[in-house]
């Protein structure tokens, strides 16, 4: 039998490349920013966005940003969560929120800021990924994000929750208008996935919920 050519069939809503682009769209990045992050052409990003919108039967990019979904083999689909003692105690108590997991601050030059926060403030540097830099502040993560607007941009508080999907649905039922749907923002080398979703408080300032999802031990 002759060997079939072309891309193997994908047993999912979207291909891996489309999922990567869709998660960036749901995170609020432009096509050019996505192209830069993924090191692909702008036309390739536009192609994947158009394909995803068509496959999911959505009207436009705005609808894609709010579309709720994840890969069929995702750890979120399996429901595997990373828990520590604080998380377990919070879940027993009320099951909604654990702690402030991350605070972001925009900077003009991420490399210069990385050096300052590490060498002057002596914070524990976790890692740098492109124009994002992360530090540990006693268990709360500080994210420095390079922005042309610099320190004029509003900081974001990220509230860590045990299950991002149940928290998302609960907040929706309370009338919270989400900017985007839960989406994966990063997969670490050890397989841990980070998922986030964003909304505004009554004063129109940004807030986020976040979950760490990992393989069950």
Q: Where are the domains of the chain?
A: 16-67, 76-213
Res. 138: pLDDT tops 70? yes
Arithmetic mean of pLDDT over the chain = 82
pLDDT bucket at 70, cuts 50 / 70 / 90: confident
Q: Which of the four CATH numbers 3.60.40.10, 1.10.10.10, 3.40.50.300, 3.40.50.1370 does domain 16-67 have?
A: 1.10.10.10
User: Over 60: is that where the pLDDT of 47 sits?
Assistant: yes
Convert 6-32 to b/e letters by CB count within 10 Å (16 or more is b). Answer: eeeeeeebbbebbbbbbbbbbbebebe
As a whole number, mean pLDDT of residues 98-123 equals: 86
Residue 215: φ, ψ to 5°: -60, 140
CA atoms within 13 A on the CB side of 12: 16
Mean pLDDT on 199-205 = 80
Give residue 13's pLDDT: 82
Instruction: Average the pLDDT over each of 54-63, 143-152, 192-201 and give the range with the smallest value.
Output: 143-152
Q: How confident is the model at residue 94 (pLDDT cuts 50, 70, 90)?
A: very low
Q: Which band of pLDDT confidence, cut at 50, 70 and 90, is reported for residue 7?
A: low
Question: What is the model's pTM?
Answer: 0.70
**Which residue from 154, 118, 150 is spatially nearest to 133, judged by alpha carbons?**
118
Range with the poorest average pLDDT among 19-23, 43-47, 80-84, 184-188: 80-84
Contact 62, 47 (CB under 8 A): no
The answer to whether residue 202 scores a pLDDT higher than 80 is no
Q: What is the pLDDT of residue 97?
A: 59
- Report the 10 Å Cβ neighbour count for 33: 14
Query: Band of the pLDDT at 84, cuts 50, 70, 90?
Result: very low
Coil/strand/helix, residue 132: strand
Q: Per-residue pLDDT averaged across 158-183, rounded?
A: 88
Under CATH, to which class is 76-213 assigned? alpha beta
């Amino acid at each position: 039998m002759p060997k079939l050519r072309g891309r193997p069939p994908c047993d999912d809503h979207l291909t891996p490349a489309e999922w990567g682009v869709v998660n960036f769209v749901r995170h609020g990045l432009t096509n050019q920013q996505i192209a830069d992050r993924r090191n692909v052409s702008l036309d390739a990003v536009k192609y994947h966005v158009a394909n995803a919108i068509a496959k999911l039967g959505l009207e436009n990019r705005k609808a894609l940003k709010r579309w709720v979904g994840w890969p069929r083999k995702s750890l979120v689909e399996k429901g595997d969560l990373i828990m520590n003692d604080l998380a377990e105690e919070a879940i027993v108590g009320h099951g909604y929120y654990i702690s402030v997991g991350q605070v972001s601050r925009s900077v003009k030059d991420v490399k210069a800021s990385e050096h300052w926060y590490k060498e002057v403030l002596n914070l524990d540097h976790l890692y740098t990924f492109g124009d994002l830099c992360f530090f540990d502040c006693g268990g709360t993560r500080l994210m420095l994000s390079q922005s042309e607007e610099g320190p004029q941009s509003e900081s974001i508080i990220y509230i860590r929750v045990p299950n991002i999907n149940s928290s998302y649905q609960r907040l929706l039922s309370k009338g919270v208008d989400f900017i985007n749907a839960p989406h994966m923002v990063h997969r670490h080398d050890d397989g841990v996935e980070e998922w986030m979703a964003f909304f505004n408080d009554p004063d129109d300032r940004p807030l986020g919920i976040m979950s760490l999802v990992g393989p069950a031990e």
